[in-house]
Amino acid sequence: MKNNRVYIIAEAGVNHNGRLDLALQLCDAAKVVGADAVKFQTWKTENIVTQAAQMAQYQRENLNDTENSQYKMLKKLELSYDNFRKVAKHCQEIGIDFMSTPDEEESLNFLLSSCDMKYLKIGSGELTNVPFLRKAAAMAKQPIIISTGMGTMEEIERAYKELTGHGAKEVIMLHCTTNYPCPTEEVNLRAMLTLRERFHCAVGYSDHTQGVEIPVAAVAMGAQVIEKHFTLDKTMEGPDHIASADLAEFKQMVDGIRRIELALGDGEKHPQQSELANRKIVRKSIVAAKPIEKGELLTEENLTTKRVGDGIPASDWDKVIGTRALHAYEIDEPIEIEQ
């Protein structure tokens, strides 16, 4: 990552429900709420799952469906390559980055050859897919963002080495807990810092929690990329809508992240411009604690420090103690010394 601005990805995922019109609306909505990119998922169902594979537990619960297979669910949610070309073109027209996660090699080829993407995003499901990682690293001319959900440190290190060893220009790691929604106690945000320390790369956070506080906290901890699912309507049918942020929530998150960016500053400790005028008002100067006669020895007994707006600063206390009064002082009168 080249600057300090957090890259915010609005994860549309499969929340288009297999419809081009909804996908385009999600692009428009992501632009309105201030995301830098809108991201989808691209696959050919027959290339990623067998017809007998069962849905994940969260998918069954969110869909209230214990009968259909994962194949049938994914086939219903699949968008064609031609539709993704239209979505990518629409993103270019409205001024938001288009992204999509390829879930198998044919879709990887399609996205890298047919769609203009600033980053290639690899999902947690491919973290251990060695041939896929090698091909992605060799093909991608752009930096690669990879989610690390479900991964052990050993698996993550293997993925990192596969990517960097096969041509990846830059790898950005997202800490992630692959559960929808993710319970707060399973977020483990500090693991993001562990990834940064271990691999010396840019890190971020892919959020599956409800609410917006945790991704904002991740930015305060150093996340350079934030990804969060969003939807036009949480009540729509589909596996991810209920665990996604609606537009109001996503806008609240974006606003919070941008404020945190400003608050983080440059890391240098120095007085801010707005503080300079307050120093004279708030800081204390050396004054007489009792009446002092001219020539009297100035001591800790006859001096004190108070706010007066001018005079010798309290930081010069040791320079004043032990000198003689240049003239008589009344209580609270600022002390003077020879220059």
Segment 58-114, tens digit of pLDDT: 656 666 666 578 888 899 999 999 999 999 999 999 999 999 999 999 999 999 999
- Same-domain check for residues 158 and 38: yes
Percent of the chain beyond pLDDT 90? 86
How many independent structural domains does the chain possess?
A: 2
Least confident of 71-85, 115-129, 177-191, 229-243: 229-243
Residue located via tokens 């070309």: 85
Tell me, what's the pLDDT at 302? Answer: 98
Beta-bridge mates of residue 38: 10, 98
Segment 273-325, tens digit of pLDDT: 999 989 989 999 999 999 999 999 999 999 999 999 999 999 999 999 999 99
Average pLDDT estimate for 46-59: 78
Handedness of CA 263, 268, 270, 274 (dihedral sign): negative
Tell me, what's the pLDDT at 243? Answer: 87
| Full-model pTM | 0.89
Least confident of 62-76, 122-136, 157-171: 62-76
Average per-residue pLDDT for the chain: 94
- Same-domain check for residues 128 and 24: yes
The last residue of one of the domains, among 226, 246, 264, is 264
Tell me, what's the pLDDT at 52? Answer: 79
Distances, alpha carbon 266 to alpha carbons 3, 144, 203, 209, 237, in Å = 12, 27, 18, 30, 45
For residue 1, tell me if it sits in a domain: no
- Same-domain check for residues 278 and 227: no
> What is the separation, in whole angstroms, between the first and last Cα of the chain?
53
Tell me, what's the pLDDT at 59? Answer: 58
Q: 161, 188, 160: which is closest to 175 by C-alpha? A: 188
**Full residue range of the structural domain in which residue 295 is found:** 271-339
User: Over 90: is that where the pLDDT of 46 sits?
Assistant: yes
The last residue of one of the domains, among 208, 229, 264, is 264
Helix (H) or strand (E) run with residue 277 in it: helix 273-282
Distances, alpha carbon 184 to alpha carbons 38, 196, 270, in Å = 25, 22, 36
Is the Cβ–Cβ distance between 207 and 214 less than 8 Å? yes
- Same-domain check for residues 185 and 313: no
Average pLDDT estimate for 23-42: 98
Helix (H) or strand (E) run with residue 41 in it: strand 37-42
User: Over 70: is that where the pLDDT of 2 sits?
Assistant: no
Average pLDDT estimate for 10-21: 96
User: Over 60: is that where the pLDDT of 333 sits?
Assistant: yes
Tell me, what's the pLDDT at 311? Answer: 94
Segment 182-218, tens digit of pLDDT: 999 999 999 999 999 999 999 999 999 999 999 999 9
Handedness of CA 199, 152, 208, 40 (dihedral sign): positive
- Same-domain check for residues 109 and 221: yes
Tell me, what's the pLDDT at 308? Answer: 95
- Same-domain check for residues 251 and 233: yes
pLDDT category of residue 4 using cuts at 50, 70 and 90: confident
- Same-domain check for residues 190 and 238: yes
Tell me, what's the pLDDT at 64? Answer: 65
Tell me, what's the pLDDT at 54? Answer: 75
Q: 122, 191, 189, 194: which is closest to 159 by C-alpha? A: 122
- Same-domain check for residues 288 and 165: no
